[in-house]
Each structure stands twice: as C-alpha cells, then as structure tokens.
Amino acid sequence: MITDVTHHGIHLLQRYVHAFGSTIVNAFDLDAWSRASTLETFAVRLILRAGTARVALMHIPADGPRTELAQLALDTPGTAATGLFRPAQMSGALLPVVLEHSPGANFDVVFVTDDEPSQPHARINYIFCTYNRAQYVQHNADVFREYRRRWRDHARSVHLTVVDNGSADATTPTCGVQPDEAVTVYTNHNTGGAGGFGRGIYESAYGALPGEGFSHVCLLDDDIHLHPEMFARNTAFVRYLKPGFHIGAPMYPTSSPESGPALSACFGHRFRGTIHPSDTAIGAGLQTTAIEDFVRMDRKPDTTGWWWDCIALSDVHRIGLPYPFFIKMDDVEYGLRLKEAGVELVIPYSFWVLHDDFEEKYSAAMQYFRFRNRWLLLAQFDRLEAEKLATEWTHLVRGFVATRRYEHAQLLLDGMEHFLAGPDSLLRNEKEILAGIFRVVKVEKNVPIPEIPAGSELVNGLYAPTSPRTQWLNKVTVNNHFLPLSESLVIDTTQRHAETDCRRGKTVTFWNGNKGVGYTVTRDSRKAAAQMMRLRRLARRLRASMPALAETYRARKRHLTSPSFWAEYGHFGAPLRLAPAESAAEAAMRHEVGRLQQAQQVETARRRASAVSVSDEDLVFLNAIRNRHAGQRCFVLGNGPSLKVEDLELLKNEVTFAANKIYLCFNETQWRPTYYSVEDLLVAQNCQAEIMALSGMTKIFPDHMLRFLPRRANHHYARWLPPADNRVQYREFSRDLTKGICWGSTITYSMLQMAVHMGFREIYLLGLDHSYVEPSTKQDGALVSEGEVNHFHPDYRKPGERWHMPVLDRLEASYTHARDYCDSIGVKVWNASRFSKLEVFPRADLDAVLGVSKPAAKPARKPATKRAPRKTPAK
C-alpha cells in the first residue's frame, strides 16, 4: 500500500451494498481488474454522514489466509481513506468488513481511483428483451432511471433500450415502459430472446441508434431484479476495459430481491461440445460468505448467459449479429463466436444478477428449444456427426416415452422434424412452430406440489430388473407400457433416479422436493407406440440428410447474422428476407464497412462527449496555465454589498478572479476580471445570454455548466467533482485542474482552486460579506427574490428570480479546509473585504495591500457665528 501520495478519489469504481454485508458481492475483484482493465491504482474510503463507524479491509488471496490491510474509523462526519493499492501486485479479493457502527449510522465504503479511464467516452446501451413481463421490466427501468439520478456523472454515458416482443402491433408496446431521452422502446414480433436481443443490437449498431455513438451494448434478461449499483459497477468497469474483452455477471437465484443471495447459481459455462445441451456450469452452489471458494474457483468459462453480457460494438461489427435461435443456445453460440474472434470473457465476482428461480418456471417447451438449437449450433460449428446424433436423440426420446413424459417426447420428435426441414423453413414457419409447441404442452410443466401426493409411493432407486427375462420384457414393453399395472409413483427430481424406477406406475409425479413443484403424467400405451414408430422413421431421415444438411446451416449462417437480415426480421410490416448467403468477398466488404462505421461512431461519441464534458483541448489549456502565475498575488472577488466600483478601478493592473453577475458593474468601470467563472446552474440558466456575450477575459467553468454555457473560443472546462454527500463537513481541494474542481458550496472555493493551480502564493479575498437576507418565498427547492439586497448592485437579483440560498456553515467548512490546505503548501489567503462576517481567514487592509494612501482627514470646520439681523434704516 502506498501512503505518501495525495489521492482525490475522482472516479468511483464500487460502492458497498449494505444489504449484502460481508459476501462475495461486496468484494473487490483484484484479478478481474488486473486482467481486463487498465486500472493501475485505487484506494478505499469510508464516508460518514452521521453516527460512528469502523470498517476493516480484508485481503483474501488465492493462496493464503485472510489478512487485515487497514482499518478505517470515524466518530464524526467526514472521510477516512487508505493509501493506494496496485491491483497488478495483488491477487484475490479485497473485502470491506463492517466491524461496528452506532445505531442509525449513515455511511458508505467506496473504492475510488484518480487513474484516467482508458475509454472516458464509452457509451453503453443497456438492452432488455421482454415478452409479457411488464412488471419486471417496469421495475428495472425505474432502477435504471434511479441509477442515472444517483450517478450523475454516468448519466450521459448510458441509455436503455427495451425490445417488446409482446407488442400487439407496430405502435402498441405492452411492456408499460415510457420512452424518454434516456429510454427507447421498440415494438417487435415475438422472435424470442435471440430475436429481441438481435433487434436491440442491430438498432444500436446499424439501425436507428448509431448516431448515439454507442461503444457497447449490454444484454439483460427480463425476469431479473436489478440494483442501481450493478449498473454503476458495469459502467465503471467498461471505462477502464481493455480491448478484446466482454463482461458477464454471476447469476444468483433469489425469491427475495431485497436481501442478499445465499448461494451462487452460475459463473458462466464451459462448452463441452456434446449433443446433450448440458455444458459445465462454473461456480454453482457456492456460499456467498465463503469468499475463499470464489477466489480459488477456476474462472475460465467459454460463455455467459444473456442475463448480463456487455459487448463492444466493434466486436459485433467483426463477428456479425446473433443467430435467430428464438430462445436457448443463442448466448452459447454468440459466446463461442466471440471466443473464436479472440474476445475473452471476464466475469467479476463483484457483479451480480438476481434471477427468479428457473425450476419454478420449468416446462417441456424449454426442452424443445434446448435440444433443437443445440443441433443447430453444432451444425454451424461443423461438430455434428449423423450417427452420434441419431443414437443419442433416439435414446433421449425413448427415455421420455419410458417415463410417461409424452409431451417431452413429442417435442423432441417435432424438433428433429423441424431441424431436418432446414434453416429457411424454421424461420418461415416460426409462428406456427411456436403455436404448435404450446398446444402440445398441457401437463408437463411445473405447478405447486408442496408434498408427496396422498397414496403415492416415492420410488427413487427402485431395484432395477435383474433377470434376462424381466429385462427383455421391460425393453419390448418400453418400461412396462403394455402391462396392467396401476400404481401411483413419485420421482424426486432432486435425487438420483433412473427410467426403470417408474416402471410399475400408471401415474408418475415428477416432484422437486426442494422447491415444492412438479407435474403428474399418466401412462398411455397407444401414444407410446405411435411415438416409437415416428422415432424410427425420423432416425432414418436424419441419417440420410447428413452431412448435406449441416452444410446448408453453415452456408445460411452468414446471411442470418447480417445487418440485411436483421433490418427486417421481427419488424412489424417488414417481410422476412431469406436471401442467399454472402460470398466471401461480400462478407469481407461487410466487415470493412462495419469497421469504418464503428470508427465513425467512436469519433461521433468523442465529439458528443467533448461537447458535454472535458475535451482534450481543455486538458491542453489547463496544463498550459499550470503555474502560469507562479509566486504572484491575485484577488478573488465575491459579489457582496461591500464590493465597490472604486476598489475595482484600483485592481486594473492586478490579476483578478470574478464570477456570476460581476458584469453588472462593467458600465461603471474600465476594469475587467482576468478570469471569470460560474458554477451555479440557476445563474447559468437565468443569465445565459449575458454570460455568453462576455469577452475580454478567460472563462473557466466546471463541465456541468456545458448544459447552459456551451463551448466558445474563450470557454474552457474542468471536470466537476461533486461530493458523495454535500451534508458531510469533509471537503476535497484540488490543486490540479486537469483532475477537476472540487465542490465547496460556493464559487469562491472553486476560484481558490484555480488560483492555486496557476501558482499564486498570495490570494486576497474581496467583497466576501458572508451575510445574506433571505426572502420568504420558495419554489421547487429554491428561493424567489422579493427585491432583497445581498450584492453590490441594486439590480443583481430582480424580484421573482430564483436563487439558491448559501448555507453558511457549509461555506465556513469549505473556507476552513481551503485555509488549512493552502497553509500546508505555503499559499497565504487573506480576507481584504471592506466589510465581512467571515472570520476564517486572517484580515488584511485593502488600501495597505495596494499601497494606496488613505485621504487625509479634513480639518473640522469652525461653527458659524450667527450674525445679528441687519437693521433697515428708517426712511
């Protein structure tokens, strides 16, 4: 830990979530930040607003015990900070542990850095794809808006797009989310998750939204429970992300989104390449308090679920858009394409997605898409062997028939028939296929079953047939389908079981004892016989169709992942375009056009960002004025009633800083300030025309002023660094404007920082009366002027004008910190105001400072003697 470096904590990386406590979700992932980001240093801060708090920072390495690196403790409002850490020199995790706090204490623990982001202009389009889940999406849209409200410095970097697959028509979304400047809603046919996400990515990269200059898209499931901090962590990580990475998030099952998760569900999947769609889930079932288990876990997944996947649009342009799978395997296929293109997957364990339980929503329909789309995926990657597929598929269908799950069996039979019809048929008949699936599924979907049905027997592990005769009979009757058995059996799906366990059953209940859900099936010998005959016919077709069919899928993939296909797929009123695949030359041209478009988008984003934030030109200027006035003196002007025009005349040859409505005196004096600034949004809004018209001075504004004070030749901007909580007495003071200007509740505080950056050693304050008359009228949190006089000019505040009342104790806290900081670096600040109630700074006599002799006092006049009235002579 480095302790001898001043650290401002300009950029917030991660904030402690109190509801999750000392779990993996609140750990800082050193390995992910070191591997996938450009972050070099960071620190940890305790911010206390009320009460007392004590926090320990624990290091949990991959190859050793926990160690305490630091403790942060406060018993009065303020901030305590550690020294700097270097993630490249550490491994494992850093975990804040709250040791104690007083009742009702209000505090935050944050990870912060002064490192400049490698992608400061990154802009993320968060994409929800939804179908008839309005409650979820409305809630998560509200969370997104709350995130933008809390993290104002992120607000210009993020957007939300909702693709509503449940729309009734082109103009009637059903998701209930209202679009605005930060939220876009698209109506879409029901094309499943793949179609909805593909539509969102297409609009971001090629369709209606390229002008927004998005650098990344982040794909979000619709039945998840989000938190503002999750958006904030992702956006912060993207700003430091190295090229060649996409970001996933661990998924946790939860039925109570307000409380922290207890067990992990999945950290991504390792692709096995098998015909059965059961890839290896990484990190399932880990206790979230067992941080060591996460740190030591092998975190090298091939793919991540599209409950959260943040992808650079530059990579989309290289590898194409998603394949229209409808649902299931879309995220696996795209993840494998990214991996083939050299894009690595990073999943920080400080990320999290709370997902509703999958088991409670289980339906046989899911198996149709899991298996059919697995075959599509393997065909595209040339990993599908006809004989192996036929053998495994036959075994699967027979197993479903044997266990009386005829709806499962029928859907696997239908899936194979649809697969054999080829890619064009799948897309042309998508609606009919979907309707047919849901006509099939009537029974085999989970419903509440809190306990074993009365009169039923739990038969997990029932002894298997042992004699050759019994085994033969069991086989030819497909697990005793044609014997008059009438038992009611139960299979606990959370325990080991075999298809022969239910061979005596007429009715079989497949029951999840942990979740209290399941479904019951009934033996139907005629249905079993028909399905077995269909199985044999389709197996022959499958063997005859391969490998030509697999080649057809590979040939069509190029078109089905192209912008020309996605320009119409799923859109209301647009025909389905099933054009032949691109040639190699056309594909190369598309890739080059995509690369150029992406470069143009990045430049657009940079220009847009520079219009609303600090630009490279601003940084060049701020570096140029660093120590420009080294060793000199200057005057920082307030606008109180004690400021006199005759004093301004004396400052014509001095370097001066002034602000706000100082221009009201310009028609009375030839003096003009050297430097001018504004930081109050109401002042900028009310006086925009007058401020924009000012010339003959250098204007330096915090960058949040760009909203009302856009760029001009004499305008320069520094990053605005607002506090985490302006009620806290602790203040930051910046002596380096390239890092930013720290908030101090007054423009005078900002101008003091400018003066220190420029190298002044003597600073005199003038016109700082520190006394205000407050009107009685308020509106929307602001005061409304009633003609009270608080400034040097009678027209400074006109009746009816809204203004922010200074909070004097906050001002004094700022001035005290500025005084102490300036004293520590050898800069002297005096209060030379003619009148002032501010006693923080030592006083100075303005006339003595300027060497102006005071006019000699005039001698007292002798009292006039009364003359006697003249007498008028008598005539």
pLDDT recorded at residue 815? 93
Tens of pLDDT, residue by residue over 812-844, are 889 999 999 999 999 999 999 999 999 999 999
Percentage of the chain beyond pLDDT 90 is: 61
Report yes or no on 147 lying in a domain: yes
* Angle formed at CA 46 by CA 40 and CA 48, multiple of 5 degrees: 150
On whether both 227 and 249 belong to a single domain, the answer is yes
On whether both 101 and 32 belong to a single domain, the answer is yes
Q: Who contacts 38 (Cβ-Cβ below 8 Å, separation ≥6)?
A: 115, 117, 118, 240, 241, 242
Report yes or no: 696 and 673 within 8 Å, Cβ to Cβ. no
Task: Answer yes or no: is pLDDT of 33 > 60.
Answer: yes
Domain residues for 472? Answer: 366-546
Report yes or no on 865 lying in a domain: no
Selected residue with higher pLDDT from 601 and 489: 489
pLDDT recorded at residue 327? 86
Show which of 113, 137, 166 is a domain's final residue.
113
The arithmetic mean of pLDDT across residues 426-446, rounded, is 92
Report yes or no on 449 lying in a domain: yes
Q: Who contacts 856 (Cβ-Cβ below 8 Å, separation ≥6)?
A: none
Q: What is the DSSP letter of 203?
A: H
The arithmetic mean of pLDDT across residues 67-79, rounded, is 93
On whether both 591 and 650 belong to a single domain, the answer is no
Tens of pLDDT, residue by residue over 148-189, are 988 888 888 999 999 999 988 888 889 999 999 999 999 999
pLDDT recorded at residue 614? 84
SS3 405: coil
Distance CA 205, CA 213 (A): 9
Task: Give the burial string for 388-397 (b: 16+ CB within 10 Å, else e).
Answer: ebbeebbebb
Q: What is the DSSP letter of 20?
A: G
Give 119-146 as a 3 state SS string. Answer: CCCCCEEEEEEECCCHHHHHHHHHHHHH
On whether both 41 and 61 belong to a single domain, the answer is yes
Report the CATH number that the domain containing residue 228 is assigned in CATH: 3.90.550.60
pLDDT recorded at residue 579? 60
Q: Who contacts 624 (Cβ-Cβ below 8 Å, separation ≥6)?
A: none
pLDDT recorded at residue 652? 93
On whether both 645 and 706 belong to a single domain, the answer is yes
Query: How confident is residue 875, by pLDDT bands cut at 50, 70 and 90?
Result: very low
Report yes or no on 4 lying in a domain: no
* Angle formed at CA 870 by CA 866 and CA 872, multiple of 5 degrees: 165
Give 784-820 as a 3 state SS string. Answer: ECCCCCCCCCCCCCCCCCEECCCCHHHHHHHHHHHHH
Tens of pLDDT, residue by residue over 668-712, are 999 999 999 999 888 898 899 999 999 999 999 999 898 889 988
Mean per-residue pLDDT over the chain, rounded:
88
SS3 699: strand
Query: How confident is residue 598, by pLDDT bands cut at 50, 70 and 90?
Result: low
842 preceded by cis ω (within 30°)? no
Task: Answer yes or no: is pLDDT of 869 > 50.
Answer: no
Candidate from 10-14, 204-208, 859-863 with smallest mean pLDDT? 859-863
Task: Answer yes or no: is pLDDT of 541 > 60.
Answer: yes
Report the CATH number that the domain containing residue 31 is assigned in CATH: 2.60.120
On whether both 646 and 581 belong to a single domain, the answer is no
Report yes or no on 590 lying in a domain: yes
pLDDT recorded at residue 473? 77
On whether both 731 and 799 belong to a single domain, the answer is yes
Task: Give the burial string for 41-78 (b: 16+ CB within 10 Å, else e).
Answer: bbbbbbbbbebbbbbbbbbbbeeeeeeeebebebeebe
Tens of pLDDT, residue by residue over 234-272, are 999 999 999 999 999 999 887 666 667 888 888 899 998
Q: What is the DSSP letter of 579?
A: P
Report the domain count for the chain: 4
On whether both 708 and 803 belong to a single domain, the answer is yes
Task: Answer yes or no: is pLDDT of 872 > 50.
Answer: no
Tens of pLDDT, residue by residue over 391-426, are 999 999 999 999 999 999 999 999 999 999 999 999
Distance CA 319, CA 717 (A): 39
pLDDT recorded at residue 805? 63
Report the CATH number that the domain containing residue 629 is assigned in CATH: 3.90.1480
pLDDT recorded at residue 358? 63
Match 């050898």 to its residue by tokens: 826
Distance CA 285, CA 518 (A): 22
On whether both 382 and 339 belong to a single domain, the answer is no
Instruction: Tell whether pTM > 0.85.
Output: no
Tokens of 141: 């849209």
Match 């190029």 to its residue by tokens: 558
SS3 544: helix
Task: Answer yes or no: is pLDDT of 433 > 90.
Answer: yes
Distance CA 645, CA 660 (A): 16
The arithmetic mean of pLDDT across residues 511-527, rounded, is 91
Candidate from 35-49, 86-100, 329-343, 602-616 with smallest mean pLDDT? 602-616
Report yes or no on 1 lying in a domain: no
The arithmetic mean of pLDDT across residues 486-501, rounded, is 89
Tokens of 426: 């799948």
Report yes or no: 573 and 189 within 8 Å, Cβ to Cβ. no
The arithmetic mean of pLDDT across residues 577-596, rounded, is 62
Cα distances from 423 to residues 20, 418, 429, 549, 743, in angstroms, run 46, 9, 10, 9, 60
On whether both 94 and 222 belong to a single domain, the answer is no
Report yes or no on 101 lying in a domain: yes
Report yes or no on 872 lying in a domain: no
pLDDT recorded at residue 390? 94
On whether both 105 and 201 belong to a single domain, the answer is no
Candidate from 276-285, 359-368, 844-853 with smallest mean pLDDT? 359-368
Tens of pLDDT, residue by residue over 458-468, are 988 877 777 78
- φ, ψ of residue 544 to 5 degrees: the values are -80, -25
Cα distances from 830 to residues 511, 635, 844, 855, in angstroms, run 80, 10, 6, 24
pLDDT recorded at residue 794? 83
Distance CA 44, CA 594 (A): 41
Candidate from 141-150, 328-337, 776-785 with smallest mean pLDDT? 776-785
On whether both 106 and 238 belong to a single domain, the answer is no
pLDDT recorded at residue 854? 66
The arithmetic mean of pLDDT across residues 846-874, rounded, is 60
